[in-house]
Structure 1
Amino acid sequence: MPPYSATQQPAVRLPPEGVPTPDRRGFWVFAALLTLFPMAASAPSPLYADYAARWQFSDTTLTIVFAVYAAPLLIALLVFGSFSDEIGRKPVTLVAAGLLAASLTLFITADGLTALIAARALQGFATGLLTAVASAALLDLQPSRRPGLASLLGAALSTGGLGLGALLSGFLVQYAWSPSKLTYLILLGALGLLAIATASWADETVTHRIRPRIRVLVSVPAEARPIFLAATPCLISTWALISFYLSLGPKLVTTLSHSSSHLPGAISVALLTGLASLVTLATKNWASHTSMVSGCAVLTAGSGLTVAAIAINCPVLFYLSTMIAGIGFGLAFSGAFRSIVALAEPTERGALIAATYVLGYTAFAIPAIISGVISTHEGLCHTAIGYSAAVAGLALIALLSTHHTSRRSTPAGSH
């Protein structure tokens, strides 16, 4: 997912005009952190079915465990997202790393549902805090010879990290000893190395520190409202899609493939998010309107094909539909995000991005819980067919609503 602070100016003291800015250290450390935190967020996905079997909870409970991540993440983003502008990038990064370490430790020692929920909630808060500060740090530390690299990576690394985390977890669950512990131990080790690198090597870019203030700014400026409303079905469909794949998706693939292996489910997540990340990079120069309209069309086709794949119980067709939906997801979300942000003045972008993420994470959490409730009573395959049909319908509505609105509202040449 594109970073919360991708369009905000870093709170650094700039040199006088005409004086070259030397490259600072730490850019790739923060890029690695922006990948690792989503990896940790998706790592439990291949394990949810095992947790449910071990502690005897239903699909409803499983999706609650998954979705509890969203509310703390939003609180961290909206309430504390600007703290690094005031007290420094490194202190906030180290706090986020400490919170994620505590979360991973909870996963390792979990002995029941309460521990899982606590681990996910803490993980969500840590990820929200890190997303804001790492995105800003990438802008601060961006190499002078590569303008635009920070925004490009910020838009791709988070989504790619989700796929890597699920794939790592799925591989370890299938082939390694004690995967419910080893997965988190590996992530904990990588986190420790990156925290040390942040503390001892990365440069601090905030030189003028002030007392932090808590303020929540969430609004949609008048000039952005038409495109925001037109893009709302697109945003809901993309966030709901990734939500289903990360929560019930692995269990669905296991059902379709009649396999006890955890790898098929992990591969489906990796295909969806990996292709979304790659297509975001490959189409970085496309106009936002083109990306959004093309993405909605592809997402409609991919989700429609998913309905057919589940209906005829064909795992090969499901993988194909996942790949198509992943391409559509990457195009649609990046196009919608850039279309919305381009219409706000710089001073209004933070509040507008916050509104976009409130909508996104609401669509991330609520549909997952609803699908869990329905699945408990009606069965997973029937639920997945209805869910995929709803995503396809929303993407089609978004395609129709943005075809004209985006072209009128988005400034020419917006990227």
Structure 2
Amino acid sequence: MAASSSRERTMDGGTPSGGQALFYLGVLIVFLAASSAPTPLYPLYQQVWGFSSTLLTLIFAVYMFALLLTLLVSGSLSDQRGRKPVIALAVALEALSMGVFLLADGPGWLLAGRILQGVATGIATSALAAAMLDSHARHGPLMTSVGPLYGMAFGALFSGLLVGYAPAPLRLVFALLLGALLLQLAWLPRMRETAMPPPGQRLSLRPRVQVPTAVRAALLRVVPVSIAAWALGGFSLSLGPSLIAEVIGLHSPAMGGLLAFLLPFVGGSSVLVLRHQATRLALLVGGWGLAAGMALMLVGVHQHAAWLLLVGTTVAGTGFGAGFMGVIRTITPLAAASERSALMAALYVICYLSASVPALIAGAATQRVGLETTTYAYGSVVIGLAVLALVGVLGDGRRRAVACPDG
């Protein structure tokens, strides 16, 4: 997604700046904050409209599916049409989705709002990342890594606080997000265009998803940690508040928001802390963090102890950020530059499916065996995947040591 040398100058002859990169970072944070804002509201929606946990997880999952499908076909759209027009389209669609949530009076509205939100975020994701990379070559990659995680974290936290302590709990957070999006849309024309598509270029929306042959063995070895991380993320953002309410016994939207806040916030912070460390260390921290954190969370559920559940989420969050960073660092150097876009699309397919499909299965399972039993089974799978990833990383380390006994 990095801009080519032909795009390094802006269309008006100006030079991209750190301030411009920060603006685009702010837009990305608002998008991801909006994505997690409904999380603390889910139990309240269920209480008011009386729908099942299966439908709740479907409302969560359709966002992921819509985002994934849109990202696959629009990933190169800003390369073909410019950053600003594509970002403007995405912001307008996101603002429209906030309007749908404001008007919602039943689960059908929530499904429509989440689908529209997924399309908007799918369009925005690659365009905003490319705009940040264009605008600040040094800090752009870090912004694109931590921005989404911090956006999801603070969106869930502030939504939980507003739902718990402010008026109009089903509306206020969306009104504030709508206001922020409209302000950003009004400010966007002040930014300088950093992509200059060739004249007469034909629009192509052909999906490109491919794992190059040279990458497959490495991806197979480390992908369990990514699946575990995103599966835990999907569970936390969909059923986490219900877990706090039904199993722990705390009927507080603020607590549900705190649980959804900790995982991405600690994940983003672990990326910042470990960004200069070796890839193998990041993968080890990822595997151990997810396994140990999930185990602590299950003990917290068994003991009905909120503090232990939050501690486990914090430990798992460390594994989430470190593990995902380690996976990206492992596979991207093995692909040629011309293959990396398709490779990252393939990785995101794995991540979004890992977040949505298991959450849907868990939502259906709660109808049969209950939320607590479902949590034990789900957590066991996450721990198993994390351990499998650790076996792969440790085994690779031993193979390298045998191959280079003097190193």
From 8, 26, 37, the equivalent of 2:31 is 37
Q: 2:192 aligns to what?
A: 203
Cross-structure match for 2:252 = 261
Describe the SS at the equivalent of 2:25: helix
Distance 1:26 1:279, change over 3 A: same
Aligned mate of 1:390, from 361, 369, 381: 381
Quick one: which amino acid aligns to residue 163 of structure 1? A
Q: Contact between 2:244 and 2:251, CA under 8 Å: does it hold in 1? A: no
Question: Do the aligned partners of 2:16 and 2:134 also contact (CA within 8 Å) in 1?
Answer: no
The residue number in structure 1 matching 2:84 is 90
Which amino acid in structure 1 is aligned with residue 182 of structure 2? G
2:291 is aligned to: 300
Deviations 1:226-277 (A, max 9, x none): 1111122111101101000000001111234422221111111111111111
Partners in 2 of 1:232 and 1:110 — Cα distance?
38
Corresponding residue to 1:100 among 94, 102, 106 = 94
Choose 288-297 or 43-52, whichever is displaced more: 288-297
Q: CA deviation at 1:52?
A: 1.3
Query: Distance in 1 between the 2:206 and 2:320 partners?
Result: 32
Answer yes or no: is 1:179 the counterpart of 2:149: no
Offset of 1:342 from its aligned partner? 1.7
1:276 match: 267
In structure 2, stretches of 5+ residues that fail to align are none
CA contact (8 A) 2:84 2:188 kept: yes
| Residues 126 and 342 of structure 1: CA distance in aligned 2, closer, same or farther (over 3 Å) | same
* Corresponding residue number in structure 2 for 1:148: 138
- Measured on the aligned residues, the alpha-carbon RMSD in Å equals 1.9
1:77-106 CA distances to partner (integer Å, 9 max, x unpaired)?
110110100111000000000110111111
Task: Call closer, same or farther: CA 1:49–1:12 in 2, change over 3 Å.
Answer: farther
Identity of aligned residues (%): 37
Q: Pick one of 171, 194, 197 that aligns with 2:184.
A: 194
CA, structure 1 residues 12+108, in 2 after alignment: closer, same or farther (shift >3 Å)?
Answer: farther
Given candidates 144, 150, 173, the residue that maps to 1:160 is 150
Task: Please give the secondary structure, in 2, of the residue aligned with 1:217.
Answer: coil
Query: TM-score, normalized by length of structure 1?
Result: 0.91
Task: Judge which range, 219-228 or 205-214, deviates more.
Answer: 205-214
Which one has a larger percent helix, Structure 1 or Structure 2? 2
Distance apart, 1:306 and its partner CA: 1.2
| Superposed displacement of residue 408, structure 1 | 6.7
Question: CA, structure 1 residues 58+193, in 2 after alignment: closer, same or farther (shift >3 Å)?
Answer: same
What amino acid is aligned across from residue 70 of structure 1 in structure 2? M
Give a deviation string over 1:110-169, Cα, whole Å, max 9, x none.
Answer: 111211101001101111111110000001111xxxx53111111101011111000111
Corresponding residue SS for 2:366? helix
Q: Does residue 114 in structure 1 map to residue 114 in structure 2?
A: no
Given the alignment, which residue of 268, 275, 280 partners 1:289?
280
Question: Once the 2 structures are TM-superposed, how far is the Cα of residue 362 of structure 1 from its aligned partner?
Answer: 0.8
CA contact (8 A) 1:291 1:331 kept: yes
1:349 corresponds to 2:340: yes
How do residues 230-249 of structure 1 correspond to structure 2 at under 5 angstroms? 230-249=221-240
Aligned to 1:334: 325
SS in 2 for 1:69: helix
**For structure 1, which segment, 309-318 or 180-189, has the greater mean C-alpha deviation from structure 2 after superposition?**
309-318
Q: Secondary structure at the match of 2:192?
A: coil
Alpha-carbon distance between aligned partners in 1 of 2:6 and 2:247, rounded to the nearest angstrom? 52
Cα offset, 1:21, TM superposition: 8.5
Rounded to whole Å, the distance in 2 between the matches of 1:46 and 1:64 is 16
Which blocks of at least 5 consecutive residues in structure 1 are unaligned?
none
Instruction: Answer whether contact 1:276 1:326 (CA < 8 A) is retained.
Output: yes
From 317, 321, 325, the equivalent of 2:308 is 317
Matched, 1:367 2:358: yes
Q: Contact (CA 8 Å) 2:248, 2:301: kept in 1 or not?
A: no
Q: Distance in 2 between matches of 1:68 and 1:370?
A: 13
Contact 1:226–1:405 (CA<8 Å) still a contact in 2? no
Q: Counterparts of 2:116 and 2:279 in 1: how far apart (Å)?
A: 34
